[in-house]
Structure 1
């Protein structure tokens, strides 16, 4: 796994001009946690783990990795100058995974803000975290987990309760995939979307995301801290925040964090 990965990255000009460091770990608790602890937060540092033992998702949920059957990595990028558009990083990261899945001939779906599904089953998740020093932003870490070659026996080998039914590329595509190839494809797509962000092509990011969004118009429950709202997801705004129409009051709420359920 990841044999000659760094060499492949260096050979592809578009990727090598963006990726400055490649760190390949045999085992780590979390690639995002490892990235956050690095003294030097160098833009374009890629951290890939063969085994992640304590993967994290949004709201500190557990992300199960199953060793070399799945892909887990983090990418350190400079904290964006346009802080108002920071929330778009979750969306563009989801777009990168969706674009990768489409290159494989599969059809991705996105749940707000960054769960990626195939056939209504979760195949990937994204966790973006900012790193601060004395309350000043230093960097942004994009963590991506992608179920590649895991099977149903892997997912249900214990009593773990999934929020969304899991799946993998191999289950959906009915074949095994190369993690090496997927890292390269995924990083290439991620660079494309980050480049669009830097060019302030925000509407391009939003439009791609919306076209794959499966929650729009759905009746949902939003749980945010102690607040519970029932209603419909009607759109996202220019910051990637959810616009939620509360059923009882007809009030439109702007949701930037929280839990969605049916």
Structure 2
């Protein structure tokens, strides 16, 4: 698809690489030898001055590039092991999710930053950070987001849909998460509506925020935090929180992001076309709460119910002790197991 070409959902596709990304690609493909600026210039059709500018920019971003007069450039490594947007995009098989990336080593909150740039950003743009110093979960709770322990990211979406459908995007993200982890050999479940569970403990959370007018959505930000490598947790959360590493799984951060972006885009496209069956199938199959007695916590109320099903809109159908079936709408409540987190 050509850059800037609009599809039926008024999305903009940006899977064409920038000239700086193309320079990096050439360097990666020629790590065994120097490649001259003239050769790069001929391949890309840009000036040698532009190449020199891109090389300097890449160096500032952590790439170690050796330059020799009359010989050319060679990529020798990186100043640290942090990911870059270029590495994530290289081999990323999506049309628009993750094709524009803002990557930080540390940030207050990826959701906060994503919201600050959302109006001027293209759909599918992603903000990623190795650390959040003011990360947050649902209902204003703090999300512990330490460096080198996880990855935290927010996706900017601009769907042309009725506002009432927006909450289902949390479910789309949850389904994409467990599907992605399964592809990487990790079995996980969804604690409705927004937590990802392994062995009864939370390893990832989803926070969806929206900006809208009366009859239209300006943007939606889907924020996700996943604990990859944590081994120690504070006492107040150690009984209900864990990480992939602690549960016996070691996965590559880049592979996870690329897999998730692809899975999310697939389910998101279906959602935009009005097809929720794929997501609902995953939600029901991978639910940590269905066919169990759980507590619904709404403010100071704690009500025991039997989780019967997830309806077509992603809401939970719960049977009360008197036999009545109640629809529990996403975003309104929290769920806990009778004797444990779930």
TM-score by shorter chain over 0.5: yes
Task: Give deviations 1:199-255, integer Å, cap 9, x for gaps.
Answer: 2221221111100112112212212245442221111111111111111x3222211
CA distance in 2, matches of 1:133, 1:202: 25
Match of 1:169 in 2: 244
Shift of 1:140: 0.8
The counterpart of 1:150, out of the listed 223, 230, 234, is 230
Match of 1:23 in 2: 102
| Counterpart position of 2:122 | 42
Relative distance call for 1:112 and 1:17 in structure 2 (3 A) is closer
Distance change (3 Å), C-alpha of 1:251 and 1:163: farther
What is the root-mean-square deviation in Å for CA atoms of aligned residues?
2.2
CA contact (8 A) 1:80 1:86 kept: no
Provide the residue aligned with 2:192 in structure 1. 112
Hey, what's the Cα distance between the residues in 1 that align with 2:265 and 2:148?
24
Give the SS at the match of 1:146: strand
Residue in 1 aligned with 2:324? 251
Structure 1 residue runs of 5 or longer lacking an equivalent are none
CA offset at residue 54 of structure 1?
Answer: 1.6
Q: Take 2:223 and 2:239, find their aligned partners in 1: how far apart are those partners?
A: 19
Bigger Rg, structure 1 or 2: 2
Rounded to whole Å, the distance in 2 between the matches of 1:103 and 1:223 is 33
How does the TM-score come out when normalised to structure 1? 0.88
Alignment correspondent of 1:9? 89
Quick check: 1:147–1:168 contact (8 Å CA) kept in 2? yes
1:81, distance to aligned residue in structure 2 (A): 1.1
1:198 to 263, 272, 278: 272
Indicate conservation of the 8 Å contact 1:96/1:190, yes or no. yes
Instruction: Establish whether residue 121 from structure 1 lines up as the match of residue 209 from structure 2.
Output: no
Q: Which runs of 4+ in 1 moved over 6 A?
A: none
The alpha-carbon deviation at position 9 of structure 1 amounts to: 1.3
Q: Deviations over 1:174-204 (max 9, x none)?
A: 5x43212221111111111111212222122
Q: Distance in 1 between matches of 2:163 and 2:216?
A: 12
Number of equivalenced pairs = 254
Please, which runs of 5 or more residues in structure 2 have no aligned partner? 1-80
Alignment match, 2:53: none
* Contact 1:28–1:49 (Cα < 8 Å) also in 2: yes
| TM-score, with length taken from structure 2 | 0.68
The structure, 1 or 2, with the larger RCO (C-alpha pairs under 8 Å, 6+ apart) is 1
Q: 263, 282, 287: which is aligned to 1:189?
A: 263
Work out whether residues 124 and 144 of structure 1, in 8 Å CA contact, stay in contact via their aligned partners in 2.
yes
Range that drifts further, 33-42 or 198-207: 33-42
Q: Secondary structure at the match of 1:97?
A: helix
Q: Which is strand-richer, 1 or 2? A: 1
From the superposition, tell whether residues 104 and 232 of structure 1 become closer, same or farther in structure 2 (CA, over 3 Å): same
Q: Which residue of 2 aligns with 1:218?
A: 292
Partner of 2:171: 91
Measured in 2, the distance between the counterparts of 1:179 and 1:63 equals: 19
CA distance in 1, matches of 2:319, 2:160: 30
